[in-house]
Amino acid sequence: MPKRQSVFVCSQCGRHEAKWLGHCPDCQSWDSFVEETLTAPAGAAGRARRKNRGAADVVRSVPLSEVTSSAQQRFSSGTAELDRVLGGGIVPGSLVLVGGEPGIGKSTLLLQVLDHVAGERPVLLVCGEESAAQIRMRAERICAAPGGVRVLAETELESVMATLEQERPALVVVDSVQTLYSDDLSSAPGSVSQVREAAGRLLRLAKQSGAAVFLVGHVTKDGAIAGPRVLEHMVDTVLQFEGDKNRFYRILRAAKNRFGSTNEMGVFEMSEAGLRPVPDPSQLFAREGPPAVGSTLHVAVEGTHCFLVEVQALVAMTDLALPRRVATGFDRNRLAMIIAVLGRHAGVALSSSDVFVNIAGGIHIEEPAADLAVALAIASASRNVSLPAEAALFGEISLTGEVRSVSQPERRYAEATRVGRSAVVMARGDAGRVSQGKSSAVGVATVRSAVSRLLGTVSPAPVAPGDQSDERGV
């Protein structure tokens, strides 16, 4: 009989150790080692079987020119926003991992996809967390034709694989991969070895049969997908749901995509009939009504989406020795840099004030083009003066106080003017490219000139050469 031995594997990077370690030497993570039971090779008998293998075991290679591209066989999921994030639709033979917090809408979205695809292709839902009766209750509420969706309430991996090989569906949804277990492994469902074995078996099935497989994954308290890190490397696409589950809208991003761009974003709104796509995100995230102190509008670009989002700031005096710098939906290190630039180059002293910045709508903005909107929101809150109601901003701020050009200024300008913003503030170079005689494009060279234009005169600060002409109001 083959011998069994125990090893300890890091769930983040996969490093093997003979004993448990509290700290992984490779990925520097803490408390990530879990015990696994391995079966040793069969020794001489196994070596004899490998030696007796003949030419029948040799697999012939295929020229790349003879391979049929899977991109030509994409089919629609029935949701335009999901198709955009996937890169144009569902690719046959792909393995997609969908992660997100509990209750955010992962199962609801995938059930809607199954309902749409069931009219053209055979589909199967493998549910390990809910019973078939519970799935039926939800399907009656959100599905147009729930009778076309086949359901398998099973968690044993061998039974699931046997059913998939017999029925051969074109689209499979496994909810969730952490519930599957194999009798060949002694560990509990959801452990590193069980999740890796289930994902590996489903990956081989997808590549051999051409079925598209969607895996629903749990997330940890830090927001990362639970299970071994190798799970994200095995799959073709990793989709991540963002947003507050207590609000009505959700953001879907592709953290990894072998068939498309990772810069795409899908916006959904939760309703009684399920998740509905939002074709115009500016209507959700842009602020309506009169201007408010500490509020600006940033023109963001996420893949093919261009929309306006509100940036909010609050500046309050503090008695603490170290003032707080808190950012929600924005990088905290970049916030500290913007505060330093405002104090040095724009005369906005914040050394004795707490600064809070929030990106409205629960979304996260990573692009440096949001620097100018964040800086003006902080300056507005500090001086207790609101920006003009018709203003929208985008631009990157350098450590020297300059406003630098950003990508796709033409799209940003067109979106801002489409929603009625008649004063679009941007870098001077971008304004020269998009204005062409249009007075609504306002170019600024430094953050100091931007503060002066939108909030009035500022306290004395070093002026960049050639920037004296910017001391005008909007």
Alpha helices by DSSP H, listed for 346-427, are: 371-383, 409-418
Least confident of 34-38, 44-48, 83-87: 44-48
Do 36 and 137 belong to one domain?
no
Do 206 and 87 belong to one domain?
yes
Q: How many residues are given for the chain?
A: 474
Do 189 and 92 belong to one domain?
yes
Query: Would you state the pLDDT for residue 71?
Result: 63
Query: Rounded CA gap, 154 and 410, in Å?
Result: 52
Do 153 and 301 belong to one domain?
no
Structural domain range at position 8: 4-43
| Position 236 confidence tier, pLDDT thresholds 50, 70, 90 | very high
pLDDT digit string, tens, across residues 336-356:
999 999 999 999 999 999 999
In a domain, 369, yes or no: yes
Q: Is the pLDDT of residue 228 over 90?
A: no
Contact 238, 256 (CB under 8 A): yes
Do 194 and 261 belong to one domain?
yes
Contact 29, 61 (CB under 8 A): no
Sequence-distant (6+) residues with CB within 8 A of 322 are none
Q: Is the pLDDT of residue 329 over 80?
A: yes
Task: Please count the structural domains in the chain.
Answer: 3
User: Model pTM?
Assistant: 0.75
Burial class (CB in 10 A: 0-12, 13-18, 19+), 419: middle
| Position 49 confidence tier, pLDDT thresholds 50, 70, 90 | low
Residue 128: which CATH number? 3.40.50.300
Do 25 and 100 belong to one domain?
no
> DSSP secondary structure string, 281-323?
THHHHS--SS--TTEEEEEEEETTEEEEEEEEEEEEE--SSS-
In a domain, 52, yes or no: no
Query: Would you state the pLDDT for residue 462?
Result: 43
Do 238 and 334 belong to one domain?
no
Closest alpha carbon to 290 in 153, 425, 356, 389:
389
In a domain, 399, yes or no: yes
Please count the other Cβ atoms lying within 10 Å of the Cβ belonging to residue 465. Answer: 6
Q: Is the pLDDT of residue 461 over 50?
A: no
Q: What are the tokens at 252?
A: 């879907």
- Please compute the mean of the pLDDT values over residues 207-219 and round it to a whole number: 92
Do 160 and 299 belong to one domain?
no
pLDDT digit string, tens, across residues 4-31:
677 888 877 778 888 889 998 888 888 8
Query: Rounded CA gap, 169 and 250, in Å?
Result: 29
Do 431 and 358 belong to one domain?
yes
b/e for 430-456, b at 16 or more Cβ within 10 A? bbeebbeeeebbbbbbbbbbbbbbbbe
Least confident of 56-60, 238-242, 416-420: 56-60
- Please compute the mean of the pLDDT values over residues 250-271 and round it to a whole number: 88
Q: Is the pLDDT of residue 439 over 90?
A: no
Query: Would you state the pLDDT for residue 304?
Result: 80
In a domain, 335, yes or no: yes
Do 265 and 294 belong to one domain?
no
- Please compute the mean of the pLDDT values over residues 217-241 and round it to a whole number: 81
Q: Is the pLDDT of residue 321 over 90?
A: no
In a domain, 450, yes or no: yes
Query: Rounded CA gap, 212 and 231, in Å?
Result: 17
Do 305 and 366 belong to one domain?
yes
In a domain, 407, yes or no: yes
In a domain, 297, yes or no: yes
Closest alpha carbon to 285 in 366, 365, 192, 371:
365
Residue 441: which CATH number? 3.30.230.10
In a domain, 68, yes or no: no
Q: What are the tokens at 281?
A: 């995100």
| Position 146 confidence tier, pLDDT thresholds 50, 70, 90 | confident
Least confident of 108-112, 186-190, 383-387: 186-190
